Amino acid sequence: MFKRILIAEDQETQNISLQTTLADLSIKKPEYVYYCDDALTWIKNSIRAEQPYDLLVTDLSFVEDHNKQRIAGGVELIQAAKKVQPSLKILVFSVENKSAVIDMLFKELHIDGYVRKARHDAQYLKLALTAIYNDKKYLSPDLKLARKENNSHDFTELDIAIISQLVDGTPQKNIPYYLQENNIKPSGLSSIEKRLNLMKEVLGFSKNEQLIAYCKDMGII
Amino acid sequence: MFKRILIAEDQETQNISLQTTLADLSIKKPEYVYYCDDALTWIKNSIRAEQPYDLLVTDLSFVEDHNKQRIAGGVELIQAAKKVQPSLKILVFSVENKSAVIDMLFKELHIDGYVRKARHDAQYLKLALTAIYNDKKYLSPDLKLARKENNSHDFTELDIAIISQLVDGTPQKNIPYYLQENNIKPSGLSSIEKRLNLMKEVLGFSKNEQLIAYCKDMGII
DNA sequence: AACCAATCTACGGTTTCCCGTAAGGATCCA
DNA sequence: TGGATCCTTACGGGAAACCGTAGATTGGTT
């Protein structure tokens, strides 16, 4: 089983229970930090000491406080960690259940496992640890359901730019200027209209307000 | 200190750490359940056995699973619990930090304390327990900040009806019909426009899309 | 180089929304 | 009762968004 594990989790109570859960798997003394910046520092130090970690267990959302951080959240932490130690295995442990986010984690950041903070998370954590130790990917079962039911449109960079501008209060007719300045390709007003129509049609909406609400719910913006 | 505590929390790991935290306060054996329905049953049984609980510690959001529940979430559980045992003290322990929600909990449901799941939640839990035991209210400090920065408009029933209709895709010009059918008083189209303008002006917005996004963020809808 | 296909853009008519003004109703007080 | 104030509603001009069509541009192929 893993010998050196680092836990990045800001909730004190979660941190406590992660340790007891790992103790059940006879993992000796996992190390833990409450801030993302500390996590990266410890990873770097472990490399320097030639005792690199085997596994990083991290949350996604970290609450801000007086202690200003360079690395704000789990996603950025994973990117930074992979850069300094590509071999590091990563298990994400979070309440997040938006399929868009989780797909991105596996496909782009190449994480090794995802356990949702939910009913039987302690059990699933143990399963995840053994799976990952055997070079397998793991996804907690409560999420598999949530991902299937999703027949949604997949949002392009353009889509997200348009929606973000709307949420920022830019009038639709001014969005072309913004897109040109940021070198986002189709920038004509008609293209924006067409794109909005497509999104609304696929999702069965008739008004922008519905689309905004949907994107908020799905964590797209 | 409290003698009989009931914990309602669906996350296995949180449940574990709550128990260890309470153990630090030399609270003997807190009882715990993973479902809201079970919580209410246990409360009723404890009354029947003439050994009522002193305190209920509960989360707000419970994940749905195959085990269908009559009581869906923490808010409903608190209402039901207060009905069968008005004297029961209640401490909410949740990640939620929307001021609208928390204000409602204190003002309408008369909870005794609120601790946000965040950096030092274990410490704050202990502070909350002693405060509540001494008949004081408790609010974890990370929340006091979040509530102050809020110079927001307070949304009336009308406001929420209008916004909900927009999110449902009703064209603005058709909303008067909906309001009349539901006996919501000012129902003229001009009143709706005026109300939307007021909300947007107070919050510094120019477009409906911004307002929708804001309401989603604040948990108003 | 020329052609085709696909996409992007520009344009005009229609609908909806926005916003200011004014008329209609209700409430309160002298 | 009369009048003053506030709130609601109705109306109309102008702006923005919606929608279909036609022209322009791009990228790839022969």
Q: For the segment B171-195, what is each residue's pLDDT rounded down to a tens digit?
A: 999 999 999 999 998 999 999 999 9
Is the distance between the Cβ of B187 and the closest atom of strand D smaller than 7 Å? yes
DSSP single-letter state for residue A152: P
Asked if residue A208 keeps its beta carbon closer than 7 A to nucleic acid strand D, the reply is yes
Q: Which two structure tokens, joined as six digits, stand for B220?
A: 């108003």
B193: Cβ–Cβ under 8 A, 6 or more apart, which residues? B172
* Angstrom distance, A220 CA to D29 C1': 39
| pLDDT for residue A146 | 65
**Mind giving me the DSSP string for B108-157?**
TS--SEEEESSTTHHHHHHHHHHHHHTT--EE-HHHHHHHHT--PPPPPH
For residue B151, pLDDT over 80 is answered with no
Handedness of CA A206, A212, A215, A221 (dihedral sign): positive
Query: Which token pair is B144?
Result: 């006091």
Of the segments A84-88, B63-67, B148-152, which one has the largest average pLDDT value? Answer: A84-88
Residue keyed to tokens 């900040």? B145
Say if strands B55-58 and B113-116 run parallel, antiparallel, or are unpaired. unpaired
pLDDT band, very low/low/confident/very high, at A24 (cuts 50, 70, 90):
confident
> If we measure between CA atoms, which residue out of B15, B107, B80, B84 comes closest to residue B5?
B15
pLDDT digits (tens, 9 = 90+) for A185-216: 899 999 999 999 999 998 999 999 999 999 99
Mean pLDDT of B92-107: 88
DSSP B33: E
Structure tokens at A72: 């704000």
Q: Could you tell me which residues come within 8 angstroms of residue B158 by beta carbon, excluding any fewer than 6 positions away?
A: B179, B184, B185, B186, B195
Give the pLDDT confidence of B15-53 residue by residue, as tens digits.
888 888 888 888 878 899 999 999 999 999 999 999 999
Q: Which residues of chain B neighbour A21 with C-beta distances below 8 Å?
A: 13, 16
**Which two structure tokens, joined as six digits, stand for B141?**
């400090």
Q: What is the pLDDT of residue B64?
A: 86
Q: What is the pLDDT of residue A142?
A: 85
Question: Which of A13, A205, A209 shows the shortest C-beta gap to B122?
Answer: A13
Gap from A50 CA to chain B (nearest CA, Å)? 31
Q: β-strand B55-58 against B89-94: which pairing, if any?
A: parallel
Q: How far apart are CA A209 and CA B210, in angstroms?
A: 9
Confidence of residue B212 (pLDDT cuts 50, 70, 90): very high
What are the phi and psi torsion angles at B86 (to 5°)? Answer: -60, -25
- How many angstroms separate the CA of residue A48 from the nearest CA in chain B? 29
Name the pLDDT band for A89 (thresholds 50, 70, 90).
Answer: very high
What is the pLDDT averaged over residues A70-86?
A: 95
User: What is the Cβ-side half-sphere exposure of residue B194, based on CA atoms within 13 angstroms?
Assistant: 7
Q: Express as a percent the part of chain A with pLDDT over 90.
A: 67
For chain B, what is the radius of gyration of the CA atoms?
A: 21
- Strand C, nucleotides covered by protein (CB < 7 Å): 7-11, 16-22
A:B CB pairs within 8 Å = 115
- Please write the tens of the pLDDT for every residue from A98-148: 887 888 899 899 999 999 999 999 999 999 999 999 999 999 988 876 665
Residues of chain B above pLDDT 90, percent: 67
Q: Which nucleotide is nearest to B176 (CA to C1')?
A: D9
Q: What is the rounded CA–CA span in Å between residue B212 and residue B214?
A: 5
| pLDDT attached to residue A152 | 66
Pairwise CA distance, residues B8 & A110, whole Å: 35
- The pLDDT value given to residue A149: 55
Distance separating alpha carbons of residues A126 and A141, to the nearest angstrom: 13
Average pLDDT, chain A: 90
Q: Which residues of A touch B20 (CB under 8 A)?
A: 16-17, 20
Average pLDDT score, chain B: 90
Neighbours of B71 (CB within 10 A): 20
Confidence of residue A218 (pLDDT cuts 50, 70, 90): confident
User: How many distinct helices (H) and strands (E) make up chain A?
Assistant: 10, 6
Asked if the model's pLDDT at residue B118 lies above 60, the reply is: yes
Distance, CA of B100 to CA of A143 (rounded, Å)? 29
